[in-house]
Structure 1
Amino acid sequence: MGETLADLVACEDVLMFVNAAITSTGQREFHHDEHGQRLSLDFLHEYMLANYRELYAAALALDVNDHNAALIVRNLLVYASDVPADRRRAEGRLISARLRLLPPQRVLRVFRELRQVGVNNRRTRAILREWMASRPDPAFDAVKYRGAVREVVRHAHLRLPEDGATRGELGAFLFAPRRGGRFRTPMFETWRRAHYEQAALYDLPYTVAEGFAAKHGIPRKVFLERIEPRMTRLERLRLQENARAHKADAVAADLSAMPLTRLATYVLALPLDDRVRRRDELTTALRAAARRAAGPLAGQWGRVTAVLDDSFSTTGSGQKRRRPLAVALACHHLLRALASRYTPLWVSGRTDELLLYPFGPSPLGERILDALDTAPERLVIVSDGWDNAPPGLAAEVLRVWRTRLDPGRRVAVTHLNPVYDADDFDVRRLAPTVPTAGIRDAEDLPTLVELARFAEGRAGLGDVRAYLDERVARFTGSR
């Protein structure tokens, strides 16, 4: 039996939401302000929750970004009064699995928002209790996020453990830390001593120690040098330039294990002179990160040509500085690792990817013509979709290619767009004949190319449901 019109509409709606949930974080983009982004994204969440709740929950098993994952969790817990018990249990498994992947500060923010709207039912308390029990170091969390942990524990009326890692002292630390004298839990005792002993603060998490350093009047240079062993990799990255400004060379970014897209963002933030001076180090790190991301697929994609956008619109915004260009750079290195033969074509015509910066118009049509001349098996286009040199040429080239020159689809063409278009409630598409998927991190590229096939119009709602069911089963460990 064929797909009904309602099924086709549902399929398009689900794909539209997934693209938005992968790319948008509700922040300003080059072509849209923050208010428009948030308004558009909030509407999509409300629409999906009201019309396709089961598919909306299943999106938690996909590569949606943390911002949208937190919104989905919050909405599922707030609006659950009419949901059957079996669906609530299935949603609970998805929510619990996703919360374990989210940064703890985001999880705590979700539960604080639930407190503000008065949600405190048995399911919510059970999910919070399970998440807190799964944390590897509850004493560390209590010290680093003390205010948020105290608030959600009080709201959910959680019974705190009387033994375990915190030796039954978690409640005393959260609600009366200065009354009971010494703590047996080392992290709590270190926090207590840091109030009057400078040496103790260097055994605390960086963000907590920073406040104590200011209280004790410790010079910034001295503090950064001594706290460096306690910093996470991302904290070192964020503070590297700060440390250099204070001549605290001990704080240095460790590039060896950094994720590919974050590493590309770091590279593009460096001045061009620094990139030239550190060319070997940066190139080696980018290629190593790409090989890790490619995994067993390395060298398996055959002949690949990429059209990569480095036009002025890849500047992004003040909140997402050079993010589109960083995604394109990361995709470039990943595609090089995936392909057996690889040809990169930047829209500006530049060939030294290490010295890229946002510049010029977007002659996507011309670059796509050049790409098709290389006879690839796969053509991957990474662009925000704003084709303006001349406008519309890319869409016409792709239409003619697909309908006249390659109707048998010998060349697999995929457009990956890192920017959410708030006006269209989707990522901007180049042509109806080419599948488009949103992308936030290049590491998700292989999965997104697979997901993009649903956007070609040859797969229906049944195929999408089967794909989501398989991803949910794998994500929750029920397969």
Structure 2
Amino acid sequence: MDTYADTYADLIAAEDVLLFVNAAITSTGQSEFRSDADRQRMSLDFLHDYMLGNYRELYAATLALGVNHHNAALIIRRLLETAADAMPEQRRAEGRLIARRLAKLPPQRVYALFRRLREARVNNRRTRAIMRDWLAARRDLAFDSVKYRDAVKTVARHAHLPLGGELGSFLFAPHDRTVFTTPILESWRRAHYDRSALYELPYTVAEGFAAKHGVDRKAFLEGIAPRLTRLERLRLQTSAAERQAGGVAADLSVMPLTRLASYVLSLPLADRVRRRDELTAALRAAATRAAGLEAGRWGRVTAVLDDSFSATGSRQKRKRPLAVALACHFLLDALAGEYTPLWTSRRDDALLVFPYGPTPLGARVLDALDHRPDRLVIVSDGWDNAPPGLAAEVLRIWRARLDPHRRISIVHLNPVYDADDFDVRRLAPTVPTAGIRSAEDLPALVELAQFAEGRTGLEELRGHLAAQCARFLEEEP
């Protein structure tokens, strides 16, 4: 009886961890097509508190998985806020994971996290050490001090950093000096009265000075172009207003796959047709990079891809579900030896997809199974409604009667968090479901999905997480 109880408890724990991972991959606390931001945040906060209280070690280990930046910051914050509850060995393991994850987060995310820790009065020795180590590892703290000046000041005060010399003067008394020897600090000082100096500053800082000096927008964009980051270029290129103002062309050849898919979907259909060769080549190149050594090794793959109206997403996450599906389409094409895409709309031109119509997942799953692939990958928010429930019944009968030995590997990847169910919506109990936010994570998520079938216990999951943590800690920041 005790063995049965332990086994059952392990299965429950494994399910809890997988449920949290799905949420931490997909939800950013923002509104989705079927739930507002408040419901998303309340649901997500509950899962974080539940995981921290019941599975602290596994909770920390999820930092090594593909959780999004929002949830990575929440995990780190909660671990540091509750440091007193951890054993010394736990704190050491958590410290290594936190340091590595901070190195991978965008700096603005890290500074925002540190500011929230200060507001929460989390000022233990470990937190201060983590802040000091992260700042010490920054390649150009003078650049950070210009771009994120208030945030750097906040961290310096909270971590008791002895910032002297020019950097200290710039942060706490910038107008006391008549000249700085550090070039970027001097450019910031000169930009207050010399408009030519603003083109030596980061874009977000220079933009404020340009407005102050009344610089024409088009002239400003042309002058600041060499200073733009890849993401800034993409944002300017995506904005219709900026395109009309003579925005800067983005370098699509180095764009990550899912971000590139979002950019493509932001373009009018006429622009996609006109730039078909350029956009298709960029998407295929990005997919090949994401596939890596797995390219061409997945055998015969069929994908059911959801481009129904619910793929519109929300105001905050516009067309995000469709962007994930489009990126997965190109990645699966790169991974497969033979690939068949099936969009729910029955369109056959991936570059021109747009959210429209109902979600006939059941019919498209039937079509996919007719192809007898080695793998069937379904990318959808799981709202099968034409007719409702057909996909679940098709998959149930297929697994129970037609393919009980699982000759066809089936996995459902869902880019939308269901706040009411504390999980991503599932199609059928017989098919593993994993949350997905970026197509680049697809290969790892397909591997993780095996644990969602309920046939694998906590020890196997612990082993998988341990392996992922070891790999994560060995990666370059």
With the shorter chain as reference, the TM-score category is: over 0.9
1:242 aligned partner: 241
Alignment of 1:256 with 2:253, yes or no, is yes
Name the SS for the 1:307 alignment partner: strand
Query: Cα deviations across residues 230-279 of structure 1 (Å, max 9, x unaligned)?
Result: 11111111112333222x25x11111110000000000110011111111
Partners in 2 of 1:4 and 1:378 — Cα distance? 30
Pair 1:300 & 2:297 matched: yes
Cα displacement (A) at 1:448: 0.2
Is 2:46 the partner of 1:43? Answer: yes
Shift, 1:84, TM fit: 1.3
1:334-386 per-position Cα deviation (integer Å, ceiling 9, x unaligned): 00000000000001110011111000001100000000000100000000000
Q: What corresponds to 2:76 in structure 1? A: 73
Offset at residue 159 of structure 1 (A): 2.1
The answer to whether structure 1 residue 200 and structure 2 residue 203 are counterparts is no
Q: 1:266 aligns with which of 263, 268, 287?
A: 263
Deviation of 1:475 after TM superposition, in Å, equals 1.4
Aligned to 2:361: 364
AA aligned opposite 1:279:
R
Match of 1:317 in 2: 314
Q: Aligned residue for 2:131? A: 128
**Aligned mates of 1:182, 1:154 — CA distance in 2:** 24
CA deviations 1:412-459 (Å, max 9, x no partner) are: 000000000000000000000000000000000000000000001121
Aligned-pair distance for 1:181? Answer: 1.9
1:154 paired residue number: 157
Q: 1:451 aligns with which of 425, 428, 448?
A: 448
Map residues 18-97 of structure 1 onto 2, 5 A cutoff. 18-97=21-100
Q: Counterpart of 2:36 in structure 1: which amino acid? A: D
Q: Is the 8 A contact 2:64 2:97 kept in 1?
A: yes
RMSD (CA atoms): 1.1
Q: Distance in 2 between matches of 1:222 and 1:242?
A: 15
Shift of the alpha carbon at 1:180? 2.0
Partner of 1:379: 376
Residues 195 and 212, structure 1, Cα contact 8 Å, conserved in 2? yes
Does the aligned pair in 1 maintain the 2:68–2:437 contact within 8 Å?
yes
Distance 1:39 1:352 in 2: 39
Task: Tell me the equivalent position of 2:278.
Answer: 281
Number of equivalenced pairs? 470
Gaps of 5+ in 1: 163-167
C-alpha distance in structure 1 between counterparts of 2:177 and 2:281, whole Å: 53
The 1-side partners of 2:354 and 2:33 are apart by 15
Aligned AA (2:32): E
Distance 1:356 1:296 in 2: 29
Q: Pick from 448, 461, 465: which aligns with 1:464? A: 461
CA distance in 2, matches of 1:279, 1:110: 41
Unaligned runs of 5+ in 2: none
Give identity over the alignment, percent.
Answer: 72
Read off the aligned partner of 1:93 and give its amino acid letter. R
Which residue is 1:407 aligned to? 404
Task: Give, in angstroms, the shift of residue 112 of structure 1.
Answer: 0.6
Equivalent position SS for 2:155:
helix
